[in-house]
């Protein structure tokens, strides 16, 4: 079989030399067949039969991956859906299989595109897709609303046969649905109540998709950051700032309030306690004074004259040493004023 | 020789078979024509069919839902706002024979759809105010942030007004207007929808201007609200302060008064036994407490204190 090797070698060279030249292996195969024909008697029909058999066999066995199902048509007519795994069908041109990925969740992006997903996902410039995301809100303002629709094929039969271009249909319906929902909401709601919009839009979109018999199930609609168009953004921020400012003013006022009022309450408490103290003091003192007086009085009633004298003299004894100048004037002496030089003590001071 | 003849016969048979058999897919329908003339009922059910080879021809038409995308364009609304409208529709061939006779193929059909749908869309959008095309219900909208003033809301309502038709109704009317005209082509419209709707460039600029002004106004309102709130708290503070101190004063005075009263009662009860003796004792007490070095005393020998200074005899 040395010639075979030579040919192979040649083929390799010509193959590496350029692909444009016609493949030489046609002759080779023909020659090979002729060669085999000579060896096996009545070989041609058998070979043809084998080829046909192989063809039939290979086209009637197929595998379906885990995330797919196989949809089988016999002469164009849908007959059955097969589960994942190894499956059999009638040979090609009688039965045809189309594999549909029913488990995979697909994603459509509106108003932006993911350039490269990853830890730090990169997005294409949003302005390029502004047409998709620019919308009129219910209060006739303009909002930028980017979103994502995640979906999977729910019914492969409908998906394959009922709508010609399911993906464009999905995109068109998503856009019109989102605009319908946003068109019924104010700019504030569009910015602050994204979840509510997503839930409602999902419901509406699913209804539309079912009506159109697309066989698609919407998994989620996820709203990206909704915003107002760029020229308007500063004024929206201004509102946020004003809200902050308002809160700040209120906090400051409250701070001043809190600084004063608890202290004043304490002060008030103190005043009241002090008054209570005064009251106790006053009552106790009066009680004490009264008790003292009554005790003295009780004894006084028993010996009035002598007690009076005693009290008087005792008091004098206490008072006299404490006093400054003392003058004793005879009761017969008249006109005593000149004697007293009251001004002297005053002047000497 | 025999085998060769057999093979030849088989080959011819196969050629005849393959050129006469045709498959109609789930997504297709077929009309058989013979020299350009249609023969028999259209084949709408998917299956394997046979025809006379060479003489008869199979014409395939899609059976599934097809799309039509409108030419986006400027349309003025009834309130003279120019808007940019992009519509799309979905349709299907329900009468392939009519379809084949009138428009021949899908491309021809698209042209007819353009002719019929574009004007229908324009007509209806032009005959309603913008509001009607944008909104679908009269749902109550939260037009301003919480705590907005009555006056602002009032303005907004007057500006926007109520809708009577709504987008979905307008779309339904577009459909109603276009459908009868498409009947003749064997076409059925599944629906027409507005994909995009926007202000044209110049209008958009002025809308932005309005949005900015509106926001500024709201911002200003928040600021003055903040100011007002702060003043209110300040006032509150003043008032609280006065209330607290005055209440404390009031309580203190009451307590003191009660105590004074009680003390007075106690004193009176005790001293009333002998007022004269009380003044005697109290006077002595007062003397003790008030006399000091600064005070000078002039005493006459007549006084009780100096009764004995002039002699030891028992006085008077």
DSSP state letters, B254-292: HHHHHHHHHHHHHHHHHHTT-HHHHHHHHHHHHHHHH--
pLDDT band at A335 (very low <50, low <70, confident <90, very high): low
Q: Give the model confidence (pLDDT) of A227-243 as tens digits.
A: 888 888 898 888 889 98
Residue ranges with strand state E in chain B:
21-24, 28-34, 37-43, 47-50, 56-62, 66-69, 73-76, 82-93, 187-199, 297-300
Tokens of A188: 């504030």
Q: Convert the pLDDT of each residue in B154-166 to its tens digit.
A: 444 445 667 788 8
Residue with the bigger pLDDT between A231 and A23: it is: A231
Residue B273's pLDDT is 87
* Region A329-348 average pLDDT: 58
**Which residues are CB-neighbours of A72 under 8 A, at least 6 positions away?**
A78, A79, A80, A81, A82, A89, A95, A96, A97
**pLDDT the model gives residue B152:** 45
> Which residues sit opposite B24 in a β-bridge?
B47
Q: Which residues on chain A are in Cβ contact (under 8 Å) with B247?
A: 268
Residues 6 or more apart from B100 whose CB is under 8 A from it?
B31, B38, B59, B61, B186
Write the residue in A180, A238, A250 that is nearest to B233 by C-beta.
Answer: A250
Q: How far is B188 from chain A (nearest CA, A)?
A: 13
* pLDDT band, very low/low/confident/very high, at A18 (cuts 50, 70, 90): very low
**DSSP code at position A164:** S
Tell me what pLDDT residue A15 has.
43
Report strand pairing: B47-50 vs B37-43: unpaired
Sign of the CA dihedral running B265, B269, B271, B276: positive
d(CA B28, CA A71): 17
Q: How close is the nearest chain B Cα to the Cα of A275, in Å?
A: 5
Coil/strand/helix, residue B297: strand
Percent of chain A with pLDDT over 90: 36
For the segment A321-349, the average pLDDT, to the nearest whole number, is 63
pLDDT of the residue at A25: 66
B78: its two tokens: 């009834």
Contacts of A35 (CB under 8 A, 6+ apart): none
Q: Which residues of B touch A254 (CB under 8 A)?
A: 233
Distance CA B98, CA B27 (A): 18
Does any CB of chain A come closer than 8 Å to the CB of residue B277?
yes
Query: Pick from A260, A279, A324: which is nearest to B296 by CB?
Result: A324
Q: Is B40 left (phi over 0), alpha (psi -120 to 50) or beta?
A: left
* Residue of chain B minimizing CA distance to A174: B195
pLDDT score of A20: 44
The length of chain A in residues reads 349
**C-beta atoms of B237 and A78 within 8 A:** no
Q: Please report the pLDDT score of residue B144 as a whole number.
A: 59
Half-sphere exposure of B157 (CA within 13 A, CB side): 11
CB atoms within 10 A of CB A244: 12
d(CA A268, CA A263): 9
**Chain A contacts of B236, Cβ < 8 Å?**
257
Closest CB to A249: pick one of B135, B230, B306: B230
pLDDT of residue B278: 87
Q: Is the pLDDT of residue A5 over 80?
A: no
Yes or no, beta carbons of A324 and B267 under 8 Å apart: no
The tens digit of pLDDT for each residue in A220-229 reads 999 988 888 8
Which residue does chain B place closest to A211, by CA atoms?
A: B190
What kind and span of H or E run contains A134?
Answer: strand A134-136
Q: Kindly give the pairing relationship between strand B187-199 and strand B82-93.
A: antiparallel
**Which pLDDT does position A61 carry in this prediction?**
87
Question: A334: nearest CA in chain B?
Answer: B300
- At A29 the pLDDT is 67
CA angle centred on B276, ends B271 and B278, rounded to 5°:
40
More confident residue, B311 or A171: A171
**Mean pLDDT within A294-310:** 87
Residue A336's pLDDT band (cuts 50, 70, 90): low
| Pairwise pLDDT comparison (A208 vs A19), residue with the higher score | A208
Asked if the Cβ–Cβ distance from A136 to B277 is below 8 Å, we say no
> Is B278 in Cβ contact with A275 (below 8 Å)?
no
ipTM of the complex model: 0.71
Per-residue confidence band for A347, with pLDDT thresholds at 50, 70 and 90: very low
Q: Are B301 and A175 in contact (CB < 8 Å)?
A: no
Nearest to B299 among A289, A294, A328 (CB): A328
Helix (H, G, I), strand (E, B) or coil at A23: coil
Tokens of B281: 């004792």
Q: Which of B64, B86, B158 to mutate to test the interface with A (most CBs of A within 10 A)?
A: B64
Is the pTM value of this prediction over 0.95? no
Q: Among A135-149, A187-201, A322-336, B210-224, where is mean pLDDT lowest?
A: A322-336
Q: Which residues of A touch B275 (CB under 8 A)?
A: none
Range scoring the smallest mean pLDDT among A2-6, A168-172, B226-230, B243-247 = A2-6
The pLDDT score that the predictor gives to residue A2 is 45
CA distance B215 to A232: 9
Note whether A184 contacts B69, CB cutoff 8 Å: no
Instruction: Tell me: pLDDT of A275 over 90.
Output: yes
Question: Residue B70's closest chain A neighbor by CA?
Answer: A172
CA distance A341 to chain B (A): 11
Task: Report pLDDT for A342.
Answer: 55
When pLDDT is cut at 50, 70 and 90, the band that residue A337 belongs to is low
pLDDT more than 70, % of chain A: 82
Between chains, do A260 and B236 touch, taking CB under 8 Å as contact? Answer: no
Bridge partners for A87 per DSSP: A62
Residues of chain B with pLDDT under 50: 145-158, 316
Give the pLDDT of residue A11: 52
**What average pLDDT does range A133-160 have in this prediction?**
91
Count of residues in chain B: 316
C-alpha to C-alpha distance for B144 and B142, rounded to whole angstroms = 6
Chain B contact probe: residue of A290, A304, A313, A341 with most B CBs at under 10 A:
A290
Given pLDDT bands bounded at 50, 70 and 90, which one contains residue A16?
very low
Identify the CA nearest to A60 among candidates A90, A81, A99, A85.
Answer: A90
């Amino acid at each position: 079989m040395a010639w075979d090797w030579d040919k192979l070698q040649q083929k390799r060279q010509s193959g590496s030399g350029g692909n444009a030249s016609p493949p030489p292996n046609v002759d080779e195969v023909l020659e090979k067949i002729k060669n085999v024909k000579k060896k096996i008697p009545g070989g041609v029909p058998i070979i043809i039969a084998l080829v046909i058999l192989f063809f039939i066999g290979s086209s009637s066995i197929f595998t379906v991956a885990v995330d797919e199902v196989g949809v089988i048509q016999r002469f164009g007519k849908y007959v059955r859906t097969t589960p994942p795994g190894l499956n059999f069908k009638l040979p090609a041109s009688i039965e045809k299989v189309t594999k549909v990925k029913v488990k995979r969740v697909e994603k459509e992006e509106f108003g932006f595109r993911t350039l490269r997903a990853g830890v730090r996902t990169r997005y294409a410039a949003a302005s390029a897709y502004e047409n998709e995301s620019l919308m009129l809100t219910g209060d006739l303002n303009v909002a930028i609303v980017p979103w994502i629709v995640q979906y999977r094929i729910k019914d492969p039969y409908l998906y394959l046969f009922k709508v010609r271009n399911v993906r464009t249909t999905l995109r068109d319906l998503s856009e019109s649905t989102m605009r319908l929902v946003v068109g019924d909401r104010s700019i504030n709601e569009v910015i602050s109540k994204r979840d509510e919009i997503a839930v409602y839009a999902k419901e509406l979109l699913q209804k539309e998709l079912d009506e159109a018999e697309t066989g698609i199930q919407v998994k989620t609609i996820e709203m990206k950051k909704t915003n107002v168009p760029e020229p308007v953004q500063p004024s929206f921020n201004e509102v946020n700032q004003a809200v902050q400012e308002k809160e700040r003013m209120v906090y400051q006022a409250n701070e001043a309030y809190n600084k004063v009022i608890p202290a004043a309450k304490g002060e008030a408490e103190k005043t009241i306690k002090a008054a209570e103290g005064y009251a106790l003091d006053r009552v106790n003192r009066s009680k004490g004074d009264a008790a003292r007086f009554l005790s003295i009085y009780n004894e006084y009633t028993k010996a009035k004259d002598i007690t009076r004298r005693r009290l008087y003299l005792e008091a004098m004894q206490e008072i006299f040493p404490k006093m400054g100048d003392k003058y004793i004037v005879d009761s017969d002496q008249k006109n005593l004023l000149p004697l007293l030089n009251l001004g002297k003590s005053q002047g000497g001071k | 020789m025999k085998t060769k003849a057999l093979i030849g016969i088989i080959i011819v048979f196969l050629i005849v078979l393959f050129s006469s058999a045709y498959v109609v897919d789930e997504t297709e329908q077929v009309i058989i024509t013979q020299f350009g003339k249609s023969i028999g009922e259209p084949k709408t059910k998917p299956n394997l069919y046979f025809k006379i080879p060479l003489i008869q021809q199979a014409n395939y038409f899609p059976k599934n839902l097809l799309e039509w995308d409108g030419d986006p364009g400027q349309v003025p609304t009834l309130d003279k706002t120019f808007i940019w409208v992009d519509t799309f529709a979905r349709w299907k061939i329900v009468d392939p024979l009519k379809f084949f006779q009138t428009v021949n193929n899908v491309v021809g059909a698209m042209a007819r759809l353009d002719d019929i749908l574009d004007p229908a869309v324009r007509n209806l959008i032009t005959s309603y105010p913008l509001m009607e095309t944008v909104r679908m219900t009269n749902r109550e909208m939260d037009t301003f942030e919480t705590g907005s003033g009555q006056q602002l809301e009032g303005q907004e309502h007057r500006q926007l007004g109520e809708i009577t038709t709504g987008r979905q109704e307008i779309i339904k009317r577009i459909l109603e207007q276009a459908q009868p005209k498409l009947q003749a082509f064997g076409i059925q419209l599944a629906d027409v929808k507005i994909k995009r709707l926007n202000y044209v460039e110049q209008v958009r600029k002025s809308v932005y201007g309005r949005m900015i002004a509106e926001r500024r106004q709201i911002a200003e309102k928040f600021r003055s609200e903040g100011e007002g709130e702060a003043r209110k708290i300040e006032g509150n503070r003043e008032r609280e302060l006065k209330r607290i101190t005055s209440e404390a004063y009031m309580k203190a005075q009451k307590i003191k008064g009660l105590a004074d009263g009680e003390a007075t009662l106690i004193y009176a009860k005790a001293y009333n036994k002998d007022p004269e003796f009380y003044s005697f004792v109290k006077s002595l007490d007062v003397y003790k407490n008030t006399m000091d070095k600064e005070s000078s005393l002039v005493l006459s020998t007549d006084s009780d204190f100096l009764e004995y200074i002039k002699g030891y005899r028992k006085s008077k």
